[in-house]
Amino acid sequence: MTGLDRFVFSFLNADVAARYWQSIAEGFLVTTYLGLAVIVAGIPLGLLLAALRSFRIRPMSALIVVFADIFRALPPLMVIIILFFAFPYIDLSMSAFTATWAALTLVLAAFAEEVFWAGILAVPAGQQEAARSLGLRHWQGLGLVVLPQAVRIAIPPLTNRAIAITKGTALGSVVALHEILNQASSGASESGNATPMMLGALAYLILFIPFVGFGRWAETRFAWKR
């Protein structure tokens, strides 16, 4: 058996692929659902926190800054482990899916808050002053004038950050979440062959290449032009 034959047998084995592609597909669905759930919850939460911070109420702003700093500093894996293994001791048990979703959502919200806050600060102060001169209250000027511009500024860096964090769905395998990596590694261990891992890699490419393409498009489409 040549080196190429051994490679094909170990990594591209058609018989093994036929046995495990269904489990990889199931993991693909779990990963897709989880990634979308993280984005749908994390980005709006980050925007809400940035908007609240713009009111510059010191105790509230301080809490938001502490939240953002903590969850940007903590590795997502550690947050997942704390939620899944530690919280049951205080009667807050959660499933592997919920723990992974909550952890990644909090991490994404922390980064999104900082990105949106930077976008808010980038909007010239004169815009808010002009809104007030027209009789708009702070929250009205924020919603109608500042945030639309801040969101446009924030889209390119936020898209890249969201992609990076949603790829963390693979960390759910640590708490036995049946996502792509868990299914692929289980198949590889059971079969003694690396082909399920190759199927998992292909599944990740199918899932995230469109996200990466969207990120590249967003960088160009929403680039801020002064």
- Higher per-residue pLDDT: 136 or 191: 191
Q: What is the pLDDT of residues 6-31, one digit of tens each?
A: 888 889 899 999 999 999 999 999 99
Tell me: the pLDDT tens digits for 188-225? Answer: 999 999 999 999 999 999 998 988 888 788 777 766 55
pTM (2 d.p.): 0.89
Domain ranges of the chain: 14-221
CA torsion through residues 212, 217, 219, 222, sign? negative
Alpha-carbon separation of residue 167 from 1, 23, 181 (angstroms): 37, 19, 11
Lowest mean pLDDT among 65-74, 157-166, 174-183: 157-166
Which amino acid appears at position 148 of this protein?
Answer: P
Class of domain 14-221: mainly alpha
